[in-house]
Amino acid sequence: MANTIVPQGIIVHHSAVPTPATGDFSQYVEYLKRIHKARGFGVFYWGRIYYLGYHYVILPDGTISQGRPERARGAHAAAYNSYIGICLVGDFSSAQNPTGTMGLQEPTQAQIQSLVRLVRELRSRYAIPPERILLHRQVDRDTQCPGDRFPVAFFTARIQ
């Protein structure tokens, strides 16, 4: 099946769209799906269309929501859609979100803990080496994603 992948790595993103800092996040994944559907990110996989381009979304409370199956081709990083896409809800860019009007300015502790746990599980499941765990901005020069407030050193030290 053309839309089936064996995950080659992991790409970390932030949502970079308006996000409430607290409250009920149950509708947020649906919100992202609508945005991605409008952008044409759907993929047909095993009899169903998945619109969310990411494989996983991590909400501010640390809840991990699956967007599309791990072996379905992603729609999150052009030439790297054979990598699993993980999106943290928030806009962690000081240029795009200097005062927090777009919601969270940095990942919550719960998000980072869930991200580290998920990345470790995926690394183990697919034998992904650390050098293939990348930030979106490392594969696309036109973005800051996941923002300059993403704690790169802290995250990297915990996934080794």
Query: pLDDT tens across 53-101, in order?
Result: 999 999 999 999 999 999 999 999 999 999 999 999 988 998 887 887 7
Contact 74, 53 (CB under 8 A): yes
- Comparing 131 with 91, the larger pLDDT belongs to 131
| Cα 154 from Cα 159, distance rounded (Å) | 9
> Does residue 128 form part of some domain?
yes
116 sits in which H/E element: helix 109-126
User: What is the pLDDT, as a whole number, of residue 72?
Assistant: 97
> Does residue 3 form part of some domain?
no
User: What is the pLDDT, as a whole number, of residue 160?
Assistant: 84
User: What is the pLDDT, as a whole number, of residue 102?
Assistant: 73
| Domain of residue 88, CATH code | 3.40.80.10
Residue 1 has pLDDT above 70, yes or no: no
> Does residue 45 form part of some domain?
yes
Count of domains for the chain: 1
Task: Kindly tell me the burial class for residue 107, based on how many C-beta atoms sit within 10 Å of its own C-beta (0-12, 13-18, 19 or more).
Answer: buried
Tokens of 124: 């183990």
Confidence of residue 112 (pLDDT cuts 50, 70, 90): very high
> Does residue 1 form part of some domain?
no
> Does residue 102 form part of some domain?
yes
The domain in which residue 126 lies consists of: 10-159
> Does residue 5 form part of some domain?
no
- Total residue count of the chain as it appears in this document: 160
User: What is the pLDDT, as a whole number, of residue 22?
Assistant: 66
Residue 21 has pLDDT above 70, yes or no: no
Residues 97-122, mean pLDDT to the nearest whole number = 90
Residues 28-41, mean pLDDT to the nearest whole number = 94
User: pTM of the prediction?
Assistant: 0.94
